[in-house]
Amino acid sequence: MAQGNHDLNCLSIDDLEKLAYTRMDKMTRDYYNEGADSGSTLLENIKAYEKYRIRPRVLRDVSVIDTSINVFGHKNAVPIGVAPTAMQRLAHSDGELATARACKNKDIAMGLSSFATTSLEDVAKECEGAIPNVLQLYLFEERAHSKKLIARAKKAGFKAVFLTVDTPYLGRRNAEIKNQFKLPGHLKISNFAEDDAEQNDGDNPRTDNLPISANQGTKLKTKNPSVAGRTEGTERVLPTGPITFHTHAANPTLSWEKDIEWLKQECCPEMEVWVKGIATAEDAILALHHQVRGIVVSNHGGRQLNGALATLDALPEVVDAIQGKIPVHVDGGIRHGTDVFKALALGADFVWVGRPALWGLAYKGQEGVELMLRLLSEEFRLCMALAGVTRVQEIAKEYLVKVDKSGFVSKL
């Protein structure tokens, strides 16, 4: 394995996190790093990987290793993608463009948030069809903007839409509330900039503890606005005014019957419809029933329901339910190449990383994201070699054991 050309300040994702820490202002750092409530699910996402150990096989000629895998019709260098995360220009002035350039250079799929600070057309242009772009969708209760966004994504050549399904309301993120987090005036939620041109007076801070649709811009004709999202026997009024993540991202009305079928029709045939935020076998079966093209096991990086199962712990029941009928991806807490190996051994087809890309951006823009991808890719390749595996498809349960709290080792 090549050992040359290291950034000696940054030899691991842990190093990268520390380096990024000093390069972000407090509001950005808290917004990026925080989990919901006490943050226990965020931590458990990371810790869950420590419950498994690898069973290495030897004397297998590992001189040639192929880490690549096909995803959305493209060859990805490793089974790792950059997860959609909102507002990347908070971390670096090039924001999503830097991420796109890094992904293109490294042959890595990229997920673009609906709430990006760069338009989907600009990101697509940057990649010129070299990597499969995925649009993460917050499907607005008010449909016109979402309809337009989907049409634009199709035109720009996006391969898939990941409908985020774990945000009927925004999770309670106390630092975000304390800091009165808002997008600075020089940045825009670019995918909706045109829609907002006439009325955009900027974002409003998240200052209260209410479910998100009770925040600014949402008027519900309910008796008590603090229970927004439920129309108490009276008319429901859609969000109005500028499109901000405080007003539009969460949608408490989303449902399998009403929305998945609608979305499939809108996207068909150009883009695949996936659901991001599945954490149970029951919902995995519903996803199959509604014929989505794939699922992402995710708890939104621990930013939504705190107390939910770590994604690695939720993965096996989802994999069992799906039985290979559609791809199962996973995200949350992946910080090492060995984590990628473990997730694949437990049945994931592919993993996505969120915060590490933001830390890379904050550290050195495009170069920092490339560094992050390089670290994870090299660690993954080395892990495969030392475990005695030469192709990604060979990674399976037999390479793992589970170790419980008292140190008892069990086969899977």
Ligand X SMILES: CC(C)CC(=O)C(=O)O
Ligand Y SMILES: Cc1cc2nc3c(=O)[nH]c(=O)nc-3n(C[C@H](O)[C@H](O)[C@H](O)COP(=O)(O)O)c2cc1C
Residues making up the binding site for glyoxylate: 31, 138, 173, 300, 303
Q: Does 158 bind ligand X (CB under 6 A)?
A: no
- Residue 377 CB neighbours (<10 A): 20
Helices 95-106 & 355-387 angle (0-180, nearest 10)? 20
Helix axes 337-345, 355-387, angle to 10 degrees: 70
Would you say 49 or 52 has its CB closer to ligand Y? 49
CB of 356 to ligand X, least distance (A): 15
Among this protein's residues, is 74 annotated catalytic?
Answer: no
Residues tagged in the binding site annotation for FMN: 84-86, 113, 136, 164, 276, 298, 331-335, 354-355
**Partner from ligand X, ligand Y, none contacting 372, C-beta within 5 to 8 A by type:** none
233 φ/ψ sector (left φ>0, alpha ψ -120 to 50, else beta): left
Cis peptide before 225 (omega within 30 of 0): no
Q: Which of 300, 355, 364, 381 binds ligand X (CB under 6 A)?
A: 300
**Does 381 help bind ligand X (rule: CB under 6 A)?**
no
**Half-sphere exposure (Cβ direction) of 269: Cα atoms closer than 13 Å:** 0
Backbone angles phi, psi at 22, to 5 degrees: -80, -5
Binding residues, by number, are 31, 84-86, 113, 136, 138, 164, 173, 276, 298, 300, 303, 331-335, 354-355
Q: Which of 78, 134, 249, 389 binds ligand X (CB under 6 A)?
A: 249
Which residue in 49, 52, 72, 115 binds ligand X (CB under 6 A)?
Answer: 115
C-alpha 291/C-alpha 75 separation (Å) is 24
Is residue 276 at the binding interface for ligand X, with CB under 6 A as the rule? Answer: no
User: Which of 158/192 has CB closer to ligand X?
Assistant: 192
The partner in contact with residue 353, picked from ligand X, ligand Y, none with C-beta cut-offs of 5 to 8 angstroms by kind, is ligand Y
For residues 249 and 278, which CB has a smaller minimum distance to ligand X in the complex? 249
CB 84 within 8 A of CB 54: no
Q: Specify the 3-state DSSP secondary structure of 241.
A: coil
Residue 219 sits at the vertex; the CA angle it makes with 218 and 224, to the nearest 5 degrees, is 115
Residue 282: both structure tokens together = 């029951």
Query: Binding partner of residue 364 among ligand X, ligand Y, none, CB under 5 to 8 Å per kind?
Result: none
32 binds, among ligand Y, ligand X, none (CB under 5 to 8 A by kind): ligand Y
128 Cβ contact list (under 8 Å, min separation 6): 104
Give SS3 for 234. Answer: coil
Q: Which is nearer to ligand X, 43 or 326 (CB)?
A: 43
The residues near 19 (Cβ < 8 Å, ≥ 6 apart) are: 9, 10, 359, 363
354 binds, among ligand X, ligand Y, none (CB under 5 to 8 A by kind): ligand Y
| Residue 391 DSSP one-character state | B
Which of these is catalytic: 92, 145, 300, 329? 300
Question: Where on the chain is the footprint of ligand Y (CB under 6 A)?
Answer: 31-32, 45, 83-86, 113, 115, 136, 164, 276, 298, 300-301, 303, 331-334, 353-355
CA 114/CA 127 separation, integer angstroms? 17
| Chosen from ligand Y, ligand X, none, partner binding at 329 (C-beta under 5 to 8 Å by type) | none
In the stretch 174-213, what mask flags binding to ligand X with x, by CB under 6 A? ----------------------------------------
Residues 120 and 135: beta-carbon distance below 8 Å: yes
Which residues form the catalytic set?
300
Interface contacts to ligand X, rule CB under 6 A: 86, 115, 170, 245, 249, 300, 303
